[in-house]
Amino acid sequence: MNMQSILRNTRAALAYLGTNPKMVAGMAILAVLLLIGIIGPLFVDIRLAEPISVRTNQPPSAEHWLGTDSGGRDLLAVVIAGTPQTLRMGVLAGVIGTTIGVMLGLFSGYFGGWWDRIIGAVTDTMLTIPPLAILLVVASSVRAVNVEMMALIIAALSWMHATRVIRAQVLALRELGYVQMARLSGLGSFSIIFREIFPNVIPIAFASLVGATSGAILSGMGLEVLGLGPQNTPTLGMTVYWALLYAAFSRGMWWWWSPPVIILALLFIALFLIASALDDFANPRLRSQS
């Protein structure tokens, strides 16, 4: 596959995805959430996300639009500061996990033999282990957890599904005529993998990335709600944790827990729509039905 074919396929993919209503809606929601972190600090001082005892437990008002919590944090500032941190953790974990999974899937599917047996055995073994149990053990063993550390911990357990999906696709692609011709022409294995096969699995890799990002955010939420997240960094999950810790639900402080829950719900909806659109593009049968 030459560069012109790759560019032509890329243009076709962008043209299709640009008119797919699920992709448009998902990207629009995601853009709004990103703008919260980008434009929000221009209008709200995110230093108000720090605890100050003189403004605790205040309901929404003209001074504090989303109210304050028991530590005196302005919850609008917390949301503005925490949304990009949550996104950054999810994207970083998704990129690392998907990259590992794609590389392992490419090598396992193309080379086969002992490569395939070893990678397959490790993948199957990891899939049988409850990831939350490992995450709890690792996260509780790390003294100072930050956003980057959480992303690395989650990424270490989020590569298996991408490996299996990419491997299955490569097993089919490696028997196609253009790959056989590349072998007969003397092209090296790594050149075939990255020049002939990899461009054809890019849509599936992107769909895996979106799924891994969504799963990473959900895993991070699980750790944060249990109090194992970054204590000194405002994130949406830690905001929910503090709300649970100080009984915001039973005290009727809806303004404390509802904003991060709404933001997280919108984020998951956006990622689901984007993943569904990418799946439509990667699966011709789904594309023909839409």
pLDDT digits (tens, 9 = 90+) for 73-118: 999 999 999 999 999 999 999 999 999 999 999 999 999 889 899 9
Q: What pLDDT band is residue 9 in, cutting at 50, 70 and 90?
A: low
Among 2-11, 85-94, 126-135, 187-196, where is mean pLDDT lowest? 2-11
Q: What pLDDT band is residue 276 in, cutting at 50, 70 and 90?
A: confident
| Mean pLDDT (whole number) for 41-62 | 87
Question: Rounded distance, CA 263 to CA 71, Å?
Answer: 21
pLDDT at residue 60 in the model: 94
Q: What is the pLDDT of residues 251-263, one digit of tens each?
A: 999 999 999 999 9
CA of residue 260 relative to chain centroid, distance? 17
User: Residues 157, 128: contact at Cβ < 8 Å?
Assistant: no
pLDDT at residue 200 in the model: 85
pLDDT for residue 241 is more than 60: yes
How many CB atoms sit inside 10 A of residue 249's CB?
12
- pTM here is 0.88
pLDDT at residue 230 in the model: 87
Residue 112 in 3-state DSSP? Answer: coil
pLDDT for residue 139 is more than 90: no
**Long-range CB contact pairs, 276-283, < 8 A, 24+:** 276/22, 276/26, 277/17, 277/20, 277/22, 277/23, 277/26, 278/17, 278/23, 278/203, 278/206, 278/207, 278/210, 279/207, 280/20, 280/22, 281/13, 281/16, 281/17, 281/20, 281/203, 282/203, 282/204, 282/207
Q: What pLDDT band is residue 242 in, cutting at 50, 70 and 90?
A: very high
Nearest-CA neighbor of 203 among 165, 161, 156?
165
Q: What pLDDT band is residue 1 in, cutting at 50, 70 and 90?
A: low
Phi, psi values for residue 120, rounded to 5°? -65, -40
- The mean pLDDT value of the chain amounts to 87
Q: In the chain, pLDDT over 70 holds for what percent of residues?
A: 91
Looking at 63-176, list the stretches that DSSP marks H as alpha helix, in order from N- to C-terminal side: 75-111, 113-128, 131-141, 147-155, 160-173
| Mean pLDDT (whole number) for 174-188 | 86
Nearest-CA neighbor of 160 among 89, 220, 100, 91?
100
pLDDT for residue 288 is more than 70: no
pLDDT at residue 53 in the model: 76
